[in-house]
Amino acid sequence: MSDSRAGQLEELERKLYERDEQISAIYRITSALGGIVRQQALIRQALETSLEVVQAGAGSIILYDEDRDKLVFTHVVGPTADQLLGMEMDPDQGIAGAVFQSGELRVSEDVSTEAEHDSNIGEKVHYRTKTMVTVPLKSVEGDPIGVMQVLNKADTIFTEADVDVLAILGAQIAGAIETSRLHERARLAEVIQFIGHISHDVKNMVTPVQTGAETLQFMLEDMFSQLDDIRRDDGDEESRQVRNATGEVRDFYPEMINIIVDGSTNVQERTKEISDCIKGMVSEPNFAFTDLDELVARAIKPLFLVAGSAGVTLGHEPGEGIPRVCVDEKQLYNAIYNLVNNAIQACEEGDSVTVRTGAVLEGDWPDGGYVVLQVADTGSGIPDHVREKLFTDDAISTKPGGTGLGTRIIGDVVRSHDGVIDVESEVGVGTTMTVKLPLAREDTD
C-alpha cells in the first residue's frame, strides 16, 4: 500500500474516532439532561462536556432575563468563571447580543476583526478571546432564550464537525433549560397553593388574638373607670393601695395592646405579601408623601421590647429639617423593621442600636437631594464574605437557621425606591448601614 493511501486511511480513522467521541458525548449529555433531578448542575456538566469534545478553553451559557431586559451569564466554565458568573449585558451588546437577536449560529475565527465584538467584558476579567462559536438557544416555539458561547479551541480554529456538534448540544441544552423552567413552575405552583393555605391559617389564628386584645382593652378601660370612681368616693389607705397596685398596669396596657393589634395586622399583611410575591403578583409601589421619622418610630416601636429583653439599648435620633419624602410606607416600614431587627440580633447584652435620620437638600441626586436613614450598632460586625452578598439574591445569614431573607427584602425595597445602601462594618466593633433615598421622583410632581 502506498504511503499516500496509508495516510488517507489514517486521517479517515482519526476523523471517525473524533466523530464517535462526539456522538458519544451527545448521547451522554442527552441522557443526563433527560432527567429532572439537579437540572442546573447537569446543564453546567453539559457545557463542560461540550468544551471537552471540541477542545475549547472556556464557555458560557448566557440567558435572557425578561424582567431586567438583560443577557445574564448563568453558567460559566473556564479560568474567569467566578468573575463572569452573574454579569449582565444589554441584549444587543457584542457578538452574543447579535446572535441572540438574529437567531443564527456564528463562527468567529478571530473575534477582533468583527464589528460587533465588545472587548470590554474580556478586559474586565483579563481574558483574551481569539476563536469563538456562538450558538443561539431557542425555545420549542423558536423564541430566543439566550446563547451558548464556546471560546478558544486549543491551538487551532473550530472545524465544521465541531460546529455541527455544538449546534446539536446547544439544542439539547436549550431543551434542558426549558424543562428546568417547566419543573420550576410546577414546583412553584405547589408552593403557591401551600402559602395560600398558610396565609388563610395565619388569618384564622391571628384574628382571635386581635379580638382578644381589643376586648381586653375595653375591659381594662371599664375596670380603671370603676376604680377611679371608688377613689373619688373613698380616700382611705385601701384605695391608695389599690391605686399603687394597678398604676403600672394602667400606664403600660394601652401601648402593649396597640403593639399586639398592630403586630397581628402586620403579620396578616406580610403573609399576604409573601403569598403575592411568590405568585409573581407584587403590586407596584404605592408612593405617597410621608414623615420619615414618624414612620421610623412606628417601625421600631415593637422592637423596643425585643431589644430590652436582650439587654440592648435601642435609640432613635430624629434629624432636623427633613422634608416629607415620597415612599411606599408598607415597603419602607418592612425595610426599617428588618434593618433594626437584624442589628439587634447582631448585638449582645450591653450593646446598642441607634437609628438616625437626616437629609442633604442641596444639589441633585446622587450627590444631594436625598434623605438619609442610618442604623448603627455596636455588635459583632459582618465578615467580608457575607457583606459582599448583602441585599442580593445570594444573601446569606450568620445567624443559626437564618436565610438572609431580611437583607434581600431590604435590598428590594431600596431598589424599588431608586435609592442606594452602603455598609460599613468591622468584625467585633459594629456595623453602620446607611440608606439614601432621592427626594425627587420622575413619577411625582
| For the chain, domain boundaries | 3-186, 188-278, 288-438
Query: What is the per-residue pLDDT for 44?
Result: 79
Dihedral sign from CA coordinates of 278, 279, 285, 290: negative
Q: How far is it, in rounded angstroms, from Cα 338 to Cα 317?
A: 18
Alpha helices of 234-350 — where are they, by DSSP H? 237-278, 292-300, 303-309, 329-345
pLDDT tens string for the chain (445 positions)? 566 666 666 766 666 666 666 556 555 555 554 444 455 677 777 888 888 888 898 999 999 988 778 999 988 888 888 888 888 899 999 999 999 999 999 999 998 898 888 888 888 888 888 999 999 998 877 889 999 999 999 878 888 888 888 888 888 788 877 777 766 666 666 666 666 667 666 766 777 777 788 888 888 888 888 877 766 655 567 777 777 777 778 888 888 888 888 777 777 776 766 665 555 444 567 889 999 999 999 888 888 888 888 899 999 999 988 999 999 888 898 889 889 988 998 899 999 999 999 999 998 888 899 999 999 999 988 887 777 767 655 544 444 433 345 677 788 888 889 999 999 989 889 999 999 999 986 555 4
Cell numbers standing for residue 285: 409601589
Q: How far is it, in rounded angstroms, from Cα 221 to Cα 249?
A: 11
Q: What is the rounded (10 degree) CA torsion for 24, 28, 31, 36?
A: -160
Strand intervals (E) in 305-407: 313-317, 325-327, 352-360, 370-377
Strand partners, 59: 77, 150
CB 254 within 8 A of CB 188: no
Domain covering 3-186 in this structure, CATH number: 3.30.450.40
Among 424, 416, 288, 440, which residue's Cα sits nearest to residue 366?
440
DSSP strand pairing (370-377 vs 430-438): antiparallel
Query: What is the per-residue pLDDT for 348?
Result: 92
CB 395 within 8 A of CB 310: no
At 436, phi and psi to the nearest 5? -120, 125
Query: What is the per-residue pLDDT for 386?
Result: 74
| DSSP conformational letter for 377 | E
Domain covering 288-438 in this structure, CATH number: 3.30.565.10
Q: What is the rounded (10 degree) CA torsion for 409, 413, 418, 423?
A: -50
Tell the burial category of 244 from Cβ atoms under 10 Å away from its Cβ (0-12, 13-18, 19+): exposed
Look at the chain and count its residues. Answer: 445
CB 175 within 8 A of CB 197: no
What is the residue type of 312? V
| 3-state secondary structure at position 104 | coil
Q: How far is it, in rounded angstroms, from Cα 278 to Cα 176?
A: 24
| DSSP conformational letter for 399 | S
Query: What is the per-residue pLDDT for 91?
Result: 92
| Distances from the Cα of 405 to the Cα of 83, 180, 186, 397, angstroms | 24, 24, 23, 8
| Distance, first Cα to last Cα, the chain | 90
CB contact set of 167 (below 8 Å; sequence gap of 6+): 105, 135
Among 278, 262, 115, 251, which residue's Cα sits nearest to residue 190?
278
